[in-house]
Structure formats: structure tokens, C-alpha cells
Amino acid sequence: MNMGMGGEALIILLIALGVILVVGGLGLALGWARPRSTPLPCRTVVDLILAYLEGTLAPTERKAFEAHISDCQKCWTFLKTYRDTVDLGRELREDAIPPDVHERLESFLRKRLSGPS
């Protein structure tokens, strides 16, 4: 009888241990115990810059990206100068056609389009 009760206790202990192991394993598999954002290497950060600036990174990716940038001087500088390059590129837009080109094109139109086709 005493042996039987001891056996039951052992079985209960083993079941409890099993449950702990299963839940723990499942938790690890689902990333409960992992840090929220995995550290990114510089190469990945550089690859993600366009998506970061366009605001299309997933929240966890964005967090990892920003964590890296705040720690890595090289990537921080790279991001800043990449941004400068984008801003400067947008300034290349000229909103007027040179007057001499406009004049020649108008004359071209008159010659080619006004006569019989």
C-alpha cells in the first residue's frame, strides 16, 4: 500500500515534469524566451534602408534596425548620408524646359504637323 502511494507520487511528479518540459519547449519554439529583436549584421541593415525610409518594415524588423543603428556608428553615418543622397537627387528635378529647346520644338511641330500628312 505504502509502495503504491509512493508509485502514484512518482507518476504525478513525472507527469508534472513532462508538462514543464513540453510547455518550456513550446515556449522556446515560439520565441517566448528569446530576445524580442535579433541583432542584425550591417549588411542586412544596409539592405533594409530603402524599406526603412519608406516605412514598410515590419515592427520587429524596424525595432531591430533601429537598435543596430543606435549602436553602430558606421551604419548610422551610412543611413544619414544615404538620406542626403536621396534629398539631393530629388533636387535634380528641373521644372522648366530651356527656352531655346522649346522654341526649336515648336518650330519642329509647325513644320511636321501643319503640312499635309
Smallest CA-to-CA distance from 48 within 85, 84, 78 is with 78
Say which residue the cell 509647325 belongs to.
Answer: 110
Asked if 81 is part of the footprint of other proteins (rule: CB under 8 A), the reply reads: yes
Query: By CB under 8 A, is residue 101 in contact with other proteins?
Result: yes
- Whole-number Å distance between alpha carbons of 67 and 76: 11
- Give residues 37-66 in contact with other proteins (rule: CB under 8 A): 41-44, 46-47, 49-51
> Do residues 45 and 69 lie in contact, with contact meaning Cβ atoms separated by under 8 Å?
yes
Measured in whole angstroms, the distance separating CA 89 from the mean position of its chain's CA atoms is: 23
Query: Which of residues 4, 59, 98, 116 is near other proteins by CB under 8 A?
Result: 98
105 binds other proteins (CB under 8 A): yes
Q: Cell numbers 530651356 label which residue?
A: 98
Nearer to other proteins, 23 or 105 (CB): 105
Residue from 82, 89, 48 nearest 66 by CA: 48
Residue 90 is a binding residue for other proteins (CB under 8 A) = yes
Interacting span for other proteins (CB under 8 A) from 1-9, 19-27, 30-38, 75-83:
75-83
Binding site for other proteins (CB under 8 A): 41-44, 46-47, 49-51, 72-75, 77-78, 80-82, 84-86, 88-98, 101-102, 104-106, 108-110, 112-114
